[in-house]
Amino acid sequence: MKQHLSRSEAPQTIREIVDSKDREPIIDRKSRSLIIAAALMALFLGAMDALIMSAAMPTIVADLGKLHLYSWVYSAYFLSRAIFLPVFGKLADLFNNKKIFLISIGIFIVSSFAAGLSTNMTFLIIARVFQGIGAGGNFALVYIVLADISTPQERAKTMSFASSIWGIASVLGPTLGGFIVTYFSWRWIFFINIPLGLLSMAGLAFFLVELREKKKKVYLDFKGVITLSTTILGILSIFLVGGRTIAWFSPQMAVLWGMTLLSGVGLYYSEKQAIDPIIPLEFFKNRGFSMGNVAVFLSSFSIFALFAFAPLFIQGALGRSPMQVGLAMLSLSLGWSMGSLVLGQVSNRLGIKRAAVLGSLLLITGCLLTLRFSVNTTMVTCFVVFQVVGLGMGFVTLATLVIVQNSVNIADLGVATSSNQFARTLGGTVGVGICGGFMTSSLAGAIDKLVAKESVINNTADSVLTDLSTNFEALLQPEFQSRIAQSTLTAIQEAIAGSVSIVFWIILFAAFLCLVFCILLPSTKEPEVKALK
């Protein structure tokens, strides 16, 4: 029978490596600065990649078609990134950091090039899977390398550089995406990664040296990785094909449900038996750990779905430009950053649990306001509503992270931190997938009804509108819009708005659930005593 390692014996997590203070780097200051710059460049590429997509996706789907695959472009990236981040972290304990880091950046560059050359959505989704693998490696290796090359006294300052990269990416990503799509081509949101990635590789190849003795053996939860991946893919597939490609009560759907449930059961038992599980089930007996991670899962479900489908509403229903889409997504990102900054200043006075509850209330308020969106909604209204949602997310994200960290012994901070990040990514993956399934199914039904109504199509040629039944991504193509009557275009925009409103209802439900779990969080303003031992 397998023996579980105690947490003091388990392989180091990223956080534990960062916190380690038993080694002094031997590296000159100039080389160290160049390594930091190269590593942060790799982090920037991965951090910006998800955000830059939000402004470009409506244009991409208008060009490549297959609107029903819209959410897979996001979900494929998030899922592969979440799964491979801990994998690369374990590989870094076994092999040379430089080689592993260069491999992960290389995967990201090659897959970015492939994504830019995509001629259909299927190829783009495959490229996004590999982009997620590369990004997962980049995220893992950046923090490990920065910790390795810094003295204990410099480590906090070095890590603050990495934190600032996320803020910069949140500002640049949406606006840069809108700018590139407006003045160049959507393909350049991927091609831009190539020169920046090569610069990062060059800096690491020439200056990075190995400073840490490697382990002879690490424990990688392969069964957990496989069963988790198949379970999440099964859940996403059910909602993405259900009701349209496969009937909800068909034998095929029953088989899909059965395989997903079987995979979920396999995940549970594999994690119970794993020496170093990817999902540490024993920690979920801890109230702060379990409630905090579920709350951040649900909040991420809401905000990432909004990031994915709000651009479709703004460009498709409101008829705005990709640049305006980028600015709207910028307001969401800025609200998120602002919420985290504000909470950092007032957390001691407000209390962490109160902050989480307040954040979830703001999230609910913003989601409620999205239900009032229509084809007559102004961009100013969108900016304000997205700011409220982002502000709430900033509160919930930081508050739940602190509560999860404070709920465990200090030796388990790495497990707590990585589990919270994993829950956030997983929430976004599932949220985008489920919302995408309902949205595309609703839109397809609305367009079918629209095409069938003689009173709506007016004098428009049948051949033009017939395309919508099988090619409803044409709704986002300017050349198609120019060939139909204004009354028909208005009806189409209302159909898009109505379909995206399904997403707004779903994220509101998730936000209410988030509030419930925030209320269930332990009531502590200060870290638990056991966390300080």
Average pLDDT of the chain is 79
What local confidence, expressed as pLDDT, does residue 22 receive? 46
| Tokens 């290389």, residue located | 106
Exposed e or buried b per residue across 180-190, where buried means at least 16 C-beta atoms within 10 angstroms of its C-beta:
bbbeeebbbbb
What local confidence, expressed as pLDDT, does residue 366 receive? 94
157 confidence band (pLDDT: 50, 70, 90): low
Six-digit token string for 186: 């959507």
Backbone angles phi, psi at 473, to 5 degrees: -70, -15
Q: Is the dihedral of CA 237, 243, 244, 250 positive or negative?
A: positive
Q: What is the DSSP letter of 313?
A: I
CA distances from 454 to 457, 461, 485 (A): 5, 11, 13
Exposed e or buried b per residue across 474-499, where buried means at least 16 C-beta atoms within 10 angstroms of its C-beta:
bbbbeebbebbeeebbebbbebbbeb
Q: Which of 130, 144, 136 is nearest to 278 (CA)?
A: 136
Letter for the amino acid at 308?
A
| Mean of pLDDT values over 349-375 | 90
Q: What is the dihedral of CA 105, 106, 108, 113, to 10 degrees?
A: 140
Judged against a pLDDT cut of 90, whether residue 45 lies above it is answered with: no
**Domain 286-533: which CATH number of 1.20.1250.20, 1.10.1060.10, 1.10.3720.10, 1.10.10.10:** 1.20.1250.20
Q: Are 328 and 386 in contact (CB under 8 A)?
A: yes
CATH number of the structural domain 7-210: 1.20.1250.20
What local confidence, expressed as pLDDT, does residue 362 receive? 94
Comparing 160 with 271, the larger pLDDT belongs to 271
Judged against a pLDDT cut of 80, whether residue 405 lies above it is answered with: no
pLDDT in tens, 304-342: 899 888 888 898 888 888 888 888 888 888 888 888 778
Where is average pLDDT lowest: 52-61, 100-109, 290-299, 446-455? Answer: 446-455
Calpha distance 333→327 (Å, rounded): 10
Q: What is the pTM of this model?
A: 0.78
- For 254, other C-beta atoms within 10 Å of its C-beta total 12
What residue ranges do the domains of the chain occupy?
7-210, 221-275, 286-533
Judged against a pLDDT cut of 50, whether residue 21 lies above it is answered with: no
Query: Based on the number of CB atoms within 10 Å of its own CB, is 56 exposed (0-12), middle (13-18) or buried (19 or more)?
Result: buried
What local confidence, expressed as pLDDT, does residue 365 receive? 95
Calpha distance 22→451 (Å, rounded): 69
Calpha distance 313→148 (Å, rounded): 45
What local confidence, expressed as pLDDT, does residue 213 receive? 63
| Mean of pLDDT values over 146-155 | 68
Q: What is the dihedral of CA 323, 329, 331, 333, to 10 degrees?
A: -130
Calpha distance 278→334 (Å, rounded): 32
Topology alike, domains 7-210 and 286-533: yes
Calpha distance 517→515 (Å, rounded): 6
Calpha distance 163→373 (Å, rounded): 34
HSE-CB for 509 with a 13 A CA cutoff: 9
